[in-house]
Amino acid sequence: MSFTGADVLIVGQGVAGSVLAWTLHQRGFSVHIVSSPELPSASSVAAGIVNPLTGRKLVKTWEADRLFPYLHRFYTGLANQLNTSFFTPLDVYRPYRDEAERRLYQTIAADPELQPYFQPAINDAAYSAVINNPFGGIQVMQAGWVDLPAFTAAVRDYFIDKQLFTYGQVRSDDLQTRPDSVTYLGKTYRYVIFSEGPHGQANPFFSALPYNVVKGEILTAEVADYPLTNIVNQGIFIMPLSATRIRIGATYSWHELDWKTTDVGRSFLETKARALLRIPFTVVDQRAGIRPSTVDRRPFVGWHQTYPSVGIFGGMGTKGVSLAPYLAHDLADHLALGKEINPAVNISRFHSL
């Protein structure tokens, strides 16, 4: 870090850009963020759930044994440092659909590698007043959710207070790139790192990367009294926001890739939720966003093949809240110590494109 200019310009302040900016700042790098308030952000819509075991067969998230202990420390520590609240550790209750699924999940839970993620004692009766669970259920630990609007706002306010944040939209033509630096608006940086979420696919530097963005919709609903404090998941998730408000999600669509809500999405989520919940609810809000997913379901981290001072930290997909903290830690190690970027996320895997 002997460079005489500023170290890193970060473009985009969604969850990935926020995590990276904070991580590098804490490691002693001089950081400046530029983010456009005019572009829609996936982080302003996403539910922010972190869950180590996902899918119909409870598959362990990639690198979960490293990611989840780290993310719990990261978000808890950051919330304490900023004297705010945005991270809520919760379990995820998965009611069995039938007897066959009960047997399958119990077999999965017996795997020694997965046992740290399962709650051994489950009170099914505590859920049965609210949730249809005639076959019981299984409970996943080390999960939770990040209030992403609150999180990004807290990080933004911190960097604004330090005069390290600018509202704006950085285009490739705005940058003067050299092998060892980048200049933007007259100021020189050692690196520029783009964290633009789904908008990254329109960035000329990285447009060749194989994005596979996916649209998602979520609902917010009011209930008279919701006593559960954990997330419930059976095809959709139901997440408690308060004793009278829940969030329901989410849809997945690779068509009509816009930021508009749909009647189809609302109908799908309402139908699923009414089959799962035993209590009435009233939908009060619906939102849609685009997730920055990739073809191989691994993020994009690394440096442009031709412009070594131009980097990307994105493509986090549906699990960005889980992935970003540890990957930002690894990227900081790369910059500070010369540590190699994990080949599974390094964009060098696509240099042939």
With 50 as the cut, is the pLDDT of residue 4 above it?
no
- The answer to whether residue 106 is domain-embedded is yes
Beta strands in 41-149 (DSSP E): 49-50, 53-54, 59-60, 87-95, 137-146
Amino acid occupying residue 27: R
% of the chain at pLDDT higher than 90: 92
Q: Are residues 187 and 173 in the same domain?
A: yes
Averaged pLDDT of the chain: 95
Q: How many Å apart are CA 183 and CA 314, to the nearest integer?
A: 22
Q: Are residues 34 and 14 in the same domain?
A: yes
- Tell me: do 121 and 156 sit in the same domain: no
The CA-to-CA distance between both ends of the chain, in Å, stands at: 31
Same domain, 115 and 223: yes
Q: What is the pLDDT of residue 5?
A: 55
pTM of the prediction?
0.95
**Model confidence band, residue 132 (pLDDT cutoffs 50, 70, 90):** very high
Residues 185 and 261 in one domain: no
Peptide bond before residue 250 is cis, with ω within 30 degrees of 0: yes
Q: Give yes or no: residues 204 and 303 share one domain.
A: yes
CATH of the domain at 309: 3.50.50.60
Q: Nearest to residue 145, comparing CAs of 231, 217, 259? A: 231
Please check whether residue 114 lies inside any domain of the structure: yes
Integer Cα distance of 132 and 154 in angstroms: 38
User: Does residue 318 contact residue 45 with C-beta atoms inside 8 Å?
Assistant: no
Among 240, 263, 291, the domain-final residue is: 291
Last residue in a domain, options 276, 291, 306: 291
Residue 256 has pLDDT above 60, yes or no: yes
Q: Compute the 3-state secondary structure of the chain and give helix, strand, coil in percent, each to the nearest 5.
A: 30, 30, 40
Report how many domains make up the chain. 2
Residue 271: inside a domain, yes or no? yes
pLDDT at 2 over 50: no
- Flag whether 77 is in a domain: no
CATH of the domain at 245: 3.30.9.10
Rounded average pLDDT over 147-162: 97
pLDDT (mean) for 82-105: 97
Q: Please indicate whether residue 39 or residue 270 has the higher confidence score (pLDDT).
A: 270
Confidence of residue 176 (pLDDT cuts 50, 70, 90): very high
Instruction: Please check whether residue 76 lies inside any domain of the structure.
Output: no
Give the separation between CA 114 and CA 108, rounded to whole angstroms: 8
Does residue 285 form part of some domain?
A: yes
Residues 202 and 220 in one domain: no
Residue 241 domain boundaries: 89-144+212-291
Q: Is the predicted pLDDT of residue 349 greater than 80, yes or no?
A: yes
The verdict on 218 and 138 lying in the same domain is yes
Q: What is the pLDDT of residues 289-308, one digit of tens each?
A: 999 999 999 999 999 999 99
In a shared domain, residues 123 and 163 = no
- Which of 272, 291, 310 marks a domain boundary? 291
Is 285 found in the same domain as 221?
yes
**262 located within any domain:** yes
Q: Is residue 112 part of a domain?
A: yes
Residues 155 and 139 in one domain: no
Q: Are residues 157 and 203 in the same domain?
A: yes
353 — pLDDT class (breaks 50, 70, 90) = low
